Structure 1
Amino acid sequence: MEEGAWMVSLVEELEAREVAARARVEELRERIAELTVRLEAEREAWSRLVIARETVAEVVADLPDVELPGVASVARAEPLISDARVIGAMTVPHWRQGMTAEVLPGVYRDIVEVVADAPGPVQAKQIVPRIGLPVQTGKIEGTRGKLKRLVQRGWLTEQVPGQFAFPHHGAGPGSVNSR
């Protein structure tokens, strides 16, 4: 085999391996995207269950001298979310009077603080660099999902689609910032 033919076959082999590696990367990206969607759905379901259990415990605690079978243990149950750091699960509580952003998981707190400090409504793509993320489609979409969750839980408003604002729950942004 001549030296030139050997080099051509080597280049072709490298190109074939590159194509195969690219295909594997794309397949893994698709699987990660699917798993990310499933993870978010499970986190949301978990969060709703935690809130339901806590609500039942609060209601039972407020009932005067009422004994309900099996409910007393719910009221005394250990919380699923403790002060310990839980990896892989972020619960965003519903906003209530007197709550500050300090109760939110870190990235959600950062988002609320950025929105509260903004002079007007902001878009996800404006928030991403302010919370230290690269301006990439995936990061923008992930932030948009978090913004939507914060709207659902009463922390932010979205009067115009894609435009998020701080609702000023009777307090200025200074009470929101944890810094």
Structure 2
Amino acid sequence: MGSLFEVIEAEEAEVRERVEQLEERLAELTERLEAERERLSRLVITRETARALLSRVTDDSAADVPVREAPPAGKRSPFEGAERRVVGVLSVPKWQPGMEPGVLPRVYQDILEVVGDAPGPVRAKQVAPRIGLPAETGKIEGTRSKLKRLVVRGWLDETTPGLFTPSDARKTHSSNSP
């Protein structure tokens, strides 16, 4: 009989150890869960505050942004599959006839000037140093992004991938102006 009790005690000790480990893990997960709930709460408050501020700045144009309520604990994230919409100021407006580069942020004006002064199409790696940036990969990629934004908004053309020129529409319009 003594060996049966020893086996039971050994099994009990193993189970007790697993229970203690699980309780420690549960406490750790509970702490992480509370931290994430706190972060979610702050993000919801931040979004609501930003929406309120933007609505003041844009004369209630932010009111059409759908409000997403936080789900009860244990439910799906309110952002899963949510359509993202950004309301705010467009720093690079779409070019329209009569629009001057002065409406753009300074760095975009500098880029337009460099591209306009070039004898032919230019690459981002040629533009970056001319606007005062080091010829580092990150700076070149940032410049490429700005060049492409100017293409999308009609300020520049991308004749072939990676080669940028002044927009034909802008050149045509400015040559027709008195």
Larger Rg, first or second structure (1 or 2): 2
State the TM-score, normalizing by the size of structure 2.
0.46
